[in-house]
Structures are given as C-alpha cells and as structure tokens.
Amino acid sequence: MRNHGSAVAVALAATIVSASFTVSAAVAGDSRRGAEVFEKQSCVQCHSVNGKGGKLAPDLGRLHGRGFTPSTLASLMWNHAPTMWTAMEKQGTAPPALSEQQAADLFAFFSSARFFERPGDAGRGKQVFAAKHCATCHGISSSPETSAPPIATWPSLGDPIMLAQQMWNHAPKMAAALKEKKLKFPMLSGQELTDLLVYLQNLPETRNLVSGFALSASGNGEALFQQSGCAGCHTGNRSLEGKLRGMTPADIAGAMWNHSPRMRAQRPSLDLDNMREIVSYVWAAQFFGESGDARRGERVFAKKGCAGCHNGSGSAPALAKGHRGFSSVTMISALSRHGPAMLAAMKQQGREWPRFTGPEMANLVSFLAKGK
C-alpha cells in the first residue's frame, strides 16, 4: 500500500515556515540529481528504491520509521560503510566519493522515496473522509456539487506537491462553501491527513496514478518565499523557527491546514512551479537542521576515539573547532571521500570502526558545528 501522505505534508509545511528559517548554512538538495547520483555512484547495483535496483541490500524505499532523521540516516550509512566498501572491492567497483552537493542531492532523493513519516492507514482514512464531511462536496467518480471535481479526476494525487498547491489555493473557497452549508471547517491532525491521503491514493479509481515527488535546488525558493508575503507574517512572535522540532511533516501540515481559516483573505495564490521552489527552499533548512546537544556531542567525540586523531597534531584534520554549516550531509560527504583511508589506518592501529546511534550522530554533528 502506497504512503505518499507525508510527501504532501512536506509540501504543505513549506508555506508556514518562518522567513528566519534560512538555508544559508545548508546545501539545498535536488532529488532528481540525487537519483542520478544513486545510479552513477553504483548504489543501485546493491540497493533498490521501491523495487527498482539491486537485490543484494535492503530496499531503501521500504524502510519506514517515525523519527527517521538525517542524523539517523547518516549513522546508518556510517555504520554500514566498512561492509559496503568490502563488498564493492570484491565486485571491482570503486567506492563513491561524494561532494557535499551530491550528498545533499542523495538525501533529497531518499526523502522523495521514503518521506520520513509514519505510515498511514486507508481504513482510518475512509473514516476521516466521512467524518470531516469531504463527501458533502467531493465524490469519488462524480460529485454532489458540480463545482467540486470528483477525486478520480485529481491528477494531483499522483504529485504530492501539486496536491499541496491545489489545497493551498482551494482552502478559502472551501471555507466559504462550508459556511453556506453551516458546516465547520474540518480540522485535521497530522495522522488524519496521512490516513486520508493513503485512502484516496488506494481507491480503485486512483491507484494506477503515477506518483512523483521531486525537490529542486534552483535557488529561487528564498526570493519566492519573500515575494509571496509569507515572510511578512511569520516574523517576531509569529516566527516558527525552533517551534517545529519534534513535529513530523504531517503534524505541521495539519497545523497549517487548521490555521487556514484565520489567515488573511488576500493570501497569495501559488502556481505549481512556485510551490515546488518554496518547498525545496524550506525543506533544506527544516530537514537538515540538527537538534542535537553539542555538550553530549563533545563526549561522543571523545568516547568514540575521534579526538585521538582529529586533534590537529597528526595527519587527520582538526574537527573540534567549529565548522559553520556542518551537518549530516557534510558528515556523509567526508565519510565517502576520506572513510576508506580512515578505515585502513584504523586497521593498522588495531582499532575498531566506531559506530553511532542516530542521537549520537545528531549530538556529534551539533558539536562539530559549534566546536569548543
């Protein structure tokens, strides 16, 4: 059963993030370029994504889990690296050497395939569709309201960002129609939104739609975020920076949808290209923003033996002096370029490859970004 509700949630979340949530210290990823990296760097020879690719390693599109963060992904890739390098050496394949941009693109590709979200349930989604009065206007094959297109004709169900854009533009008209019918605007939790989308995407009339979720890194998102007027409202006390931690994209999308009736009437209408640019701009800041504890990260740095080499006195570069913009993307780029040599040196010294949990990686990245 497909689960693209969270991808829609990512798109919707982009419309409410504060202008102060900048991406100057983050590298924006492009999922389409990431798909090319996944293939050209030979990842596809062992791993598949949603069934497409090799069968020697797990399908990276089918590993879902709440709390799956960039740090979690970075820790998994770090822990798996020695095994991967050994397998590639046996196959006569050179290990990948990723630039920071390529690593960001790869993360964007994984995000488009996995969505980092809790699973939805079509049965619960059907109940939401009824309880929230969606059927009052929208039918599956035909609609009670002639102005409301039936769900089977929504091409946007196959493109989450398109669906987000249409929901954004449709909300004021929907609120007015519900008011005429003396119905309340439906409030949606993040889980309800996910369940609803899974239900709609698995109807007999819609399940054959080709699904896609692409993130862009054109660099136009910040300007569009300003021009659309989003930055004019979400400043000062209304700034959402720091308030989104711990929330899944679906939670944020649900909060945004619930807030819609209270927004100013003349909010901007967004076309699909603009929505995609804004989503991609905000995604980099929100997705790669680490929430680790730098003090705990310093202890991880010492406990895992990093300080023994990365202290500035040996051949390994010093890492504990603060690197602005250091993130899980930086970590994976450094791992791919320097990891094989690091592993060889550790074997000569009789030392084991350090392993990290997701929280340990988050704390370590925060420490390296902040430094002493």
Those residues with Cβ within 8 angstroms of residue 94's Cβ, 6 or more apart along the chain or in another chain: 42, 88
Q: What is the pLDDT of residue 82?
A: 93
CA 135/CA 151 separation, integer angstroms = 10
Encode the chain (372 residues) as per-residue pLDDT tens digits: 444 444 333 333 333 332 333 333 456 678 788 888 988 888 888 887 777 888 877 777 665 554 567 888 899 889 999 998 988 888 888 888 899 889 988 888 877 765 445 677 899 999 999 998 888 889 989 999 888 889 888 877 766 667 777 777 888 888 888 888 888 888 888 788 878 888 888 888 887 776 666 666 666 777 887 887 777 777 777 776 656 555 655 666 667 677 777 776 567 778 888 877 777 766 666 666 667 899 999 999 999 988 878 777 766 777 756 666 788 888 999 999 999 999 998 898 898 999 999 899 999 998 988 865
Q: Is the dihedral of CA 191, 366, 305, 97 positive or negative?
A: positive
CA 55/CA 211 separation, integer angstroms = 23
Q: What is the pLDDT of residue 224?
A: 82
DSSP 8-state symbol, 46? T
20 alpha carbon, distance to own chain's centre: 19
Q: What is the pLDDT of residue 286?
A: 65
Those residues with Cβ within 8 angstroms of residue 25's Cβ, 6 or more apart along the chain or in another chain: 324, 325, 327
Scored b (16 or more CB within 10 A) or e, 260-270 reads beeeeeebeeb
3-state secondary structure of 78: helix
Q: Are 225 and 13 in contact (CB under 8 A)?
A: no
- pTM listed for this prediction: 0.69
